[in-house]
Amino acid sequence: MSTHAIPTIDISPLFGDDLAARQAIAHDMGRAAETYGFMKLVGHGVSPAVIGDTFQAAQDFFGQAEEAKLPYQERKTNRGFQPMFDNAKPGQKPSGQEAFSMGHPIPPADPALLALPFYAATPWPE
């Protein structure tokens, strides 16, 4: 990996049976995360149309006034909208970023919803 470029990692071998290839990808992803804090993943199978729609939905959501986003804030869990400067802890600087944290769909009868404090449904915008 170049020290001056965002790493691009082809993850398509993760969907195969070659253990050595999967371990190599895990190594590359770990190194990219430690070195750069992020990476570009390719070979994941997500269509460019879905990626474009996702970016547009994010721009539409975050482009709204804060009052329109606050109904999607869930303070008891780590799901939903997180306003700027909302996560300050004593002795730490607050984060100057907005975020929307999500997770996989959870059935309402899942016992983990009651048992685990950060396991929750995502409050999706319409």
pLDDT in tens, 9-52: 999 999 999 999 999 999 999 999 999 999 999 999 999 999 99
Looking at the structure, tell me whether residues 37 and 75 fall in a common domain.
no
Retrieve residue 59's tokens: 């721009």
Q: What residue numbers bound the domain in which 79 lies?
A: 66-115
The structural domain count of the chain equals 2
Does residue 21 lie in a domain region? yes
In angstroms, the CA 13 to CA 79 distance is 30
Phi first, then psi, for residue 80 (nearest 5°) are: 90, -160
Retrieve residue 4's tokens: 């001056």
Does residue 53 lie in a domain region? no
- At residue 3, the pLDDT reads 58
- Model-level pTM? 0.70
pLDDT tens column, 45-87: 999 999 999 999 999 999 999 999 999 998 777 789 989 888 7
Looking at the structure, tell me whether residues 71 and 108 fall in a common domain.
yes
